[in-house]
């Protein structure tokens, strides 16, 4: 496959490894190449956007392209606007692969400037199924829901909490409710899910409290 420009991938931190395997197999770039920049962000703001823009201006060292393989759990509006021209007209043969748990949360202007790439192995979804089952969660009592959600928040950031799995779970809930007719009860639950997804990646956010609100307010389906 001939890659040009920027690509958007739905996935988690584990999808980054799947992507790198794919790019190496297709001889796009080797994992040990000096032209590969890979990073899994906790959050992505203007400072991170400026750093990426600066790196993207550098010319390749050993190949035809510089490749940026990035897991971005969330991106501020300001950061997205700062990246618009970089993604639309990559310099120095730069290729961008942005892995995002919920691509729908990005600005339409960003999504219009990238191509969608589906990985053959959806590791984030498999990992999510191992952690918490969406159907079991929606059918459970509030008390059981809290137990089901515990694996998502029991590790702090230093212990390797996989925020991508958290966001994928919240996205799966939103997708389920999108298929249902809204009622005041369901609307409250959807807003709780939205708040959790919006603030889950903020530094210092109380993920446990956000998920508890989801458990208590999301109506049964």
Alpha-carbon dihedral sign for residues 116, 169, 40, 24: negative
Burial 166-203 (b: 16+ CB within 10 A, else e): bbbbbbbbbebbeeeeeeeebeebbebbeebbeebbee
Q: Which residues pair with 68 in a beta bridge?
A: 37, 96
Over residues 69-79, the pLDDT tens digits come to: 999 988 899 99
The pLDDT score that the predictor gives to residue 212 is: 92
Residue 157 to residues 8, 98, 115, 210: CA-CA distances in angstroms? 25, 22, 31, 16
Q: Which helix (H) or strand (E) holds 103?
A: none
The pLDDT score that the predictor gives to residue 39 is: 95
Over residues 183-195, the pLDDT tens digits come to: 888 888 888 988 8
Q: Which residues pair with 195 in a beta bridge?
A: none
- Reading the block at residue 185, the tokens are 């009860």
List the one residue out of 162, 149, 163 whose CA is nearest residue 214: 149
Mean pLDDT, all residues of the chain: 84
Task: Give the integer Cα–Cα distance in Å for 172 and 82.
Answer: 29
3-state secondary structure of 76: coil
The pLDDT score that the predictor gives to residue 203 is: 65
The pLDDT score that the predictor gives to residue 123 is: 47
Average pLDDT rounded to a whole number, residues 28-36: 94
Return the minimum-mean-pLDDT range out of 20-29, 82-91, 194-203: 194-203
Half-sphere exposure of 108 (CA within 13 A, CB side): 0
The pLDDT score that the predictor gives to residue 221 is: 62
Half-sphere exposure of 76 (CA within 13 A, CB side): 14
Residue 125 has pLDDT above 60, yes or no: no
Over residues 156-189, the pLDDT tens digits come to: 554 445 677 787 788 788 888 878 887 888 888 8
């Amino acid at each position: 496959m001939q890659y040009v420009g920027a690509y958007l991938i739905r996935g988690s931190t584990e999808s980054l490894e799947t992507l790198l395997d794919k790019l190496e197999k297709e001889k796009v770039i080797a994992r040990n190449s000096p032209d590969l920049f890979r990073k899994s962000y906790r959050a992505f703001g203007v400072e991170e956007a400026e750093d990426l823009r600066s790196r993207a201006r550098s010319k390749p060292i050993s190949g035809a392209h510089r490749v940026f393989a990035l897991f971005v759990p969330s991106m501020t509006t300001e950061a997205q606007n700062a990246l618009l021209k970089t993604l639309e007209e990559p310099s120095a043969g730069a290729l961008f692969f942005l892995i995002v748990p919920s691509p729908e949360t990005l600005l339409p202007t960003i999504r219009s400037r990238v191509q969608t790439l589906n990985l053959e192995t959806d590791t984030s979804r498999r990992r999510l199924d191992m952690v918490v089952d969406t159907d079991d969660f929606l059918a459970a009592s509030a008390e059981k829901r809290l137990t089901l959600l515990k694996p998502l928040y029991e590790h702090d950031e230093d212990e390797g909490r996989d925020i991508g799995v958290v966001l994928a779970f919240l996205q799966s809930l939103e997708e389920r409710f999108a298929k249902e007719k809204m009622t005041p009860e369901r609307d409250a639950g959807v807003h709780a899910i939205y708040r959790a997804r919006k603030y889950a990646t903020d530094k210092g956010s109380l993920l446990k409290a956000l998920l508890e609100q989801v458990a208590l307010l999301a109506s049964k389906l």
